[in-house]
Structure 1
Amino acid sequence: MLQHIVQLGFKKDLTETDHAFIAQQCDLLKQAIPGLLDMRFVANESNRTPEFSHAFVATFSELQAHDLYQAAPEHDALRQFVAEHKTRLVVLDFTV
């Protein structure tokens, strides 16, 4: 299995509409990508890194599923949203 974690900071607080869009995109990706076992968008509850307010946490069955996810057109809308709204982004991928 592969864990894919994307920590983010945003230019401004996310709205309810933003959260609904992100949740919808996560659900779409889980349905569209074979091997994407779970994908969540979570708030950072730690005050130690306030520049990173949220994270995507995804679990893939294998590296090839992650590669498929990265290339999938279904990923484009979420990628574009993040690119337009982020101030910071860091990615951590590791095998379990």
Structure 2
Amino acid sequence: MIEHIVILKFSPETTTEQKDQVIQKLKDLKQQIPGILDLQCNYNFCPRSQGFEIGLTVRFESKQALEEYGPHPKHQEAVSYMREVAKLSDIIVVDFEI
């Protein structure tokens, strides 16, 4: 199994509604992309977050499933929304095998 962890930071101009939409688009991926065993996404409440506002964890059945996730059209649609509409300003990604 593969654990995929992402934390997201947005521009100060990004609205709460846009961030809510990011969360929903990411949560929807669980039903849209094969190979996802579990997906969790929500607002970060840690005071040590250094401005990172949303966390995402995705558990994949294999490395191949992770590799197919990246270019999947539904994932790319969510990424485009984050970059173009929600003004994503920084991202950290960690992948490891469990």
Q: TM-score band, normalised by the shorter chain?
A: 0.7 to 0.9
**Alignment check: 8 A CA contact 1:36 1:58 kept:** yes
Partner of 1:95: 97
Percent identical among aligned pairs is: 33
How many residues end up aligned between the 2 structures? 95
Equivalent-residue separation in structure 1 for 2:8 and 2:19 (angstroms): 14
How has the CA–CA distance of structure 1 residues 44 and 25 changed in structure 2, closer, same or farther, with 3 Å as cutoff?
A: closer
Counterpart AA for 2:95:
D
**Alignment check: 8 A CA contact 1:26 1:40 kept:** yes
Partner of 1:4: 4
Partner of 2:17: 16
Alignment TM-score, normalising by the size of structure 1? 0.83
Structure 2 unaligned spans of 5+: none
Alignment TM-score, normalising by the size of structure 2? 0.81
The one-character-per-residue Cα deviations of 1:24-81 (angstroms, maximum 9, x if unpaired) are: 4422x22222211122222112111232111111111111111111121111211112
Structure 1 unaligned spans of 5+: none
